[in-house]
Amino acid sequence: MLVHSRKAKWAVWVLFLVLFVPLFALPLLVVLGASLATHWSGVLPSGPTIDHYRAATRGEALQALTTSLLTALAASLLALAVGTWAALAAAALKKSHRRVMDALFVLPVAVPSVVVGLSVLVAFSQPPLLLNGTRWIVILAHTVLVTAFAHQSVSAAIVRLDPAYEQAAASLGAGPARVLWRVRLPLLLPSLTAAAGLCFALSMGELSATMMLYPPDWTPLPVLIHAATDRGALFAGSAVAVVLMAATLLVLFAVSRVRTRASYR
Amino acid sequence: MSAESPLRTAPDPARVPAPAGRGPASGREAVLAAATDGGGAGAGTPAEAVRGRAARAGARRLLWALPPVALLAVFFLYPLVLVGRQSLQPDTGGTSLRPYADVFASAGFREALWTTVWLAPAATAGCLVLGFLLALVIAFVPFPGAKAVARFVDVFLSFPSFLVTLALLFVYGQVGMANGLWTDLTGAAEGPFRFLTTPWGVLLAEITYFTPFVMRPLLAAFAQLDTAQLEAASSLGARAPRIVRRIILPEALPALAAGGSLVLVLCLNEFGIVLFTGAKGVTTLPMLIYSKAILESDYPGACVVAVVNVLLSVGLYGLYRVVSRRAGA
């Protein structure tokens, strides 16, 4: 709709491919290729095998996958609840109060995740709340990290809401709770699911804070991948990475089924 | 903006300000206020009762905002305060600025600071340009499979960042794809690509990894853009560059500002890519925090670097938000 002539369209698409493929598609393909290989010394990988996948779908790796899924699920649900609540509450406040609240909830994005990990480690290794060495400290850190993203995307969507709908509902006699439940939340649903997907994905791939915190019995996938590649098992690590990507993709797909109207063009 | 302002300022119901982000209660009150005021029946309403009701509504709204703020305070702000406190408590006991003096005096810290400070803006600039171009094509010059590409961009976010470095190892590493191609073509013993363990390798990985963070809000903004505007401009004879400059770019500015500030801070704070590069020459502040805390168990030192890193990223992020708000984004 922006470029009309056939020639110009093709020129734009070729430019897109030239930028997109080497930068974004190639890394994924390379990891996929490496996960199926034992050597890589030429242009293409060599020594095809599926042994890495056998190892990546059982034992330690399978447990890490469950760990990652549970952590991401808990963290993104908690973050979505707190972030949406905060965004809705902030939207009703006076402008000065709203600014303060937005700034507060944006802070976890600005603070390095390594520092979030460090601070949670420092704070919850001592009474009154001793969480160090448990799975809860990992889930807590993930929740703190992704809440900011949930809050940001939900409040951005609230700003774009057309107030005419809720005003119409209110003028017809709907109470605030009813307006929220029947008008605002349904209108926000596409953004809520998008936020949930983002939170889940970020939590699945979180490494920095997790590296500071994880107990031995709660090892998420990224930590496992790092451990594998760190000891030189690049190809086995790639297979675990592919499993991580596939799991995330499946969940994102399921989430996008919930999405009703808004779609990318 | 308080709920009582429409009462005072709204002479015309059609022009009742409807600021975005109104709470359900305030929206309802605005409508009621406009209805009574515009109908000319508002003259008899006792102003004090209205003001009292508005004050009570304001207090109730503040109360609703309390639970999430309390959670944030306990699980995020309080731990940060403890990090600040620990940075003033050297292992030898007592409270002093010694950890700061020690860290600031070390060459490793200064080098990490400089690397962090130049890498982040460079990567952000790259991400903004690249992300805008790619999102533009996906949204407005759609091709078969453009939706799949947009979905692919989402998946990229779930990629642990250090995996980009892993992939680049296979592409540009000592024995990777590019060097393999070069040796096959020229017969040379070694390929020319060995930038992966330098800051340039980190820069390439950061641009690759963070561009989707710019594309995502852009695509969302583009999806809400009314295409009738584009059709109208185009039918009136505007060419593509003009449409991009005059219609799409203004619409995209908030998304660009949001994406750009996010990427700037995420680059300042990036850990996985640098950890995985494993190059001794490239140490950034987050990397330094990790190695001090976990590898050396030097908690006061780690906390000092953490304080510096937090001040840097939060300061830059705040500045960026103020500037982009001034710019009208």
ipTM of model over 0.90: no
- Read off the tokens for B266: 């995420």
Give the integer Cα–Cα distance in Å for B103 and B90: 12
Shared domain check, A172 and A230: yes
Q: Residue A249 is nearest to which of B72, B155, B222, comparing CB atoms? A: B155
Give the integer Cα–Cα distance in Å for B267 and B317: 12
Shared domain check, A112 and A87: yes
Contact criterion met (CB < 8 Å) for B75 and A143: yes
Closest to A194 in 3D by CA, of A114, A128, A260: A260
Contact with chain A for residue B72, Cβ under 8 A? yes
Q: Is residue A264 part of a domain?
A: no
Q: Which of A34-38, A110-114, B118-122, B288-292 has the lowest mean pLDDT?
A: A34-38
Average confidence score pLDDT of chain B:
78
Give the integer Cα–Cα distance in Å for B105 and B98: 11
- A210: number of CA atoms within 13 Å, CB side? 30
Closest to B215 in 3D by CA, of B163, B259, B172: B259
Shared domain check, A188 and A79: yes
Shared domain check, A252 and A135: yes
Shared domain check, A65 and A151: yes
CB atoms inside a 10 Å sphere around CB A136: 16
- pLDDT confidence band for B246 (50 / 70 / 90): confident
**Domain locations in chain B?**
5-67, 98-326
CA torsion angle A239 A244 A247 A253 (round to 10): -110
A221-A226-A227 Cα angle (round to 5):
95
Shared domain check, A227 and A161: yes
Shared domain check, A223 and A127: yes
> At A246, which CATH number?
1.10.3720.10
Shared domain check, A144 and A32: no
Shared domain check, A138 and A45: no
Give the integer Cα–Cα distance in Å for B96 and B178: 53
Shared domain check, A38 and A82: no
- Tell whether the model's pLDDT for residue B76 goes beyond 90: yes
Please give the backbone phi and psi of residue B96, each rounded to the nearest 5 degrees, phi first: -155, 170
- For residues A188 and A158, is the Cβ–Cβ distance under 8 A? yes
Give the integer Cα–Cα distance in Å for A174 and B31: 12
Q: Is residue A2 part of a domain?
A: no
Q: Is residue A32 part of a domain?
A: yes
Give the integer Cα–Cα distance in Å for A241 and B37: 63
What is the residue range of A23's domain?
15-49
- For residues A265 and A217, is the Cβ–Cβ distance under 8 A? no
Shared domain check, A143 and A243: yes
Each residue's pLDDT expressed in tens, for chain A with a length of 265 residues: 677 788 888 888 888 888 888 888 888 888 888 888 887 777 777 778 888 888 777 788 889 999 999 999 999 999 999 999 999 988 888 888 888 888 889 888 888 999 999 999 999 988 777 888 888 999 999 999 999 889 988 988 888 888 888 888 888 988 888 888 888 888 888 888 888 988 998 898 899 899 988 998 899 999 999 888 888 788 888 899 999 988 888 888 888 777 654 444 3
DSSP A46: B
Give the integer Cα–Cα distance in Å for A70 and A78: 12
pLDDT in the model for residue B327: 57
Q: Is residue A141 part of a domain?
A: yes
**Mean per-residue pLDDT, B235-260:** 82
Give the integer Cα–Cα distance in Å for B263 and B38: 47
Contact criterion met (CB < 8 Å) for B79 and A114: no
Contact criterion met (CB < 8 Å) for B31 and A171: yes
Q: Is residue A3 part of a domain?
A: no
User: Which of A239-243, B162-166, B249-253, B281-285 tops mean pLDDT?
Assistant: A239-243
Q: CATH fold of B98-326, please?
A: MetI-like fold (1.10.3720)
Q: Is residue A117 part of a domain?
A: yes
Tally of domains within chain A: 2
SS3 A39: strand
Contact criterion met (CB < 8 Å) for B230 and A167: no
Contact criterion met (CB < 8 Å) for B82 and A123: yes
- Read off the tokens for B106: 């070390």
- Read off the tokens for B193: 């690509």
Query: pTM, whole model, 2 decimals?
Result: 0.79
- pLDDT confidence band for B254 (50 / 70 / 90): confident
Q: Is residue A265 part of a domain?
A: no
> Which residues does B315 contact at the CB level (< 8 Å), separation at least 6?
none
Task: With beta carbons under 8 A apart, name residues in chain A contacting B169.
Answer: 234
The nearest alpha carbon in chain A to B138 belongs to: A265
Contact with chain B for residue A90, Cβ under 8 A? yes
- For residues A209 and A115, is the Cβ–Cβ distance under 8 A? no
List, for residues B12-46, the tens digit of each pLDDT value: 333 334 444 334 444 444 444 444 444 444 445 67
Contact with chain A for residue B89, Cβ under 8 A? no
Beta bridge partners of A39: A46
- Tell whether the model's pLDDT for residue B142 goes beyond 90: no
Contact criterion met (CB < 8 Å) for A112 and B65: no
Q: How far is A156 from chain B (nearest CA, A)?
A: 9
Q: Residue B24 is nearest to which of A97, A104, A170, comparing CB atoms? A: A170
Please give the backbone phi and psi of residue B205, each rounded to the nearest 5 degrees, phi first: -65, -40
Q: What 3 state SS string does chain B have?
A: CCCCHHHHHCCCHHHCCCCCCCCHHHHHHHHHHHHHHHCCCHHHCCHHHHHHHHHHHHHHHHHHHHHHHHHHHHHHHHHHHHHHHHCCCCCCCCCCCHHHHHHHHCHHHHHHHHHHHHHHHHHHHHHHHHHHHHHHHHHHCCCCCHHHHHHHHHHHHHCCHHHHHHHHHHHHCCCCHHHHHHHHHHCCCCCCCCCCCCHHHHHHHHHHHHHHHHHHHHHHHHHHCCHHHHHHHHHCCCCHHHHHHHHHHHHHHHHHHHHHHHHHHHHHCCCHHHHHHCCCCCCCHHHHHHHHHHHCCCHHHHHHHHHHHHHHHHHHHHHHHHHHHHCCC
Shared domain check, A213 and A130: yes
Task: With beta carbons under 8 A apart, name residues in chain A contacting B252.
Answer: none
The nearest alpha carbon in chain A to B255 belongs to: A156
Contact criterion met (CB < 8 Å) for A115 and B83: yes
Give the integer Cα–Cα distance in Å for A119 and A136: 15
pLDDT in the model for residue B77: 93
Give the integer Cα–Cα distance in Å for B46 and B39: 16
- Tell whether the model's pLDDT for residue B228 goes beyond 50: yes
- Read off the tokens for A153: 């995307």
pLDDT in the model for residue B311: 92
Q: How far is B63 from chain A (nearest CA, A)?
A: 9
List, for residues B180-220, the tens digit of each pLDDT value: 788 878 877 777 777 777 888 899 999 999 998 898 888 88
Contact with chain A for residue B133, Cβ under 8 A? yes
Q: Is residue A4 part of a domain?
A: no
State CA B110 to chain mean position distance. Answer: 25
- Read off the tokens for A15: 């430019």
- Tell whether the model's pLDDT for residue B86 goes beyond 50: yes
